[in-house]
Amino acid sequence: MTISIYFGALCDPINKQLIAQGYSISENDSLRLQDIADAIIMLKLHRIIPDSVVHNAEQKLMKKIVECESLAEQDGDQR
């Protein structure tokens, strides 16, 4: 399973990026993970946390996305 997610203020939401790669995720998990991603970006934009902390936080968030119980491959090829 190879998943690429881009984090940032101008990036598509996590669930939209997953759908584009042929995966689905529950709405609750999607909202929770997106809120975390948005919080990381907000802290970065306001220079509350340095880039090194942002990098570590995004790595941990990516791990949570990949390990999410509701993450599943969609039926058929929708890419």
Q: What is the pLDDT of residues 10-63, one digit of tens each?
A: 999 999 999 999 999 999 999 999 999 999 999 999 999 999 999 999 999 999
For the question of whether the overall pTM of this predicted structure is more than 0.85, the answer is yes
Q: What is the pLDDT of residues 51-76, one digit of tens each?
A: 999 999 999 999 999 999 999 998 76
List Cβ neighbours of 76 (8 Å cut-off, separation of 6 or more).
Answer: none
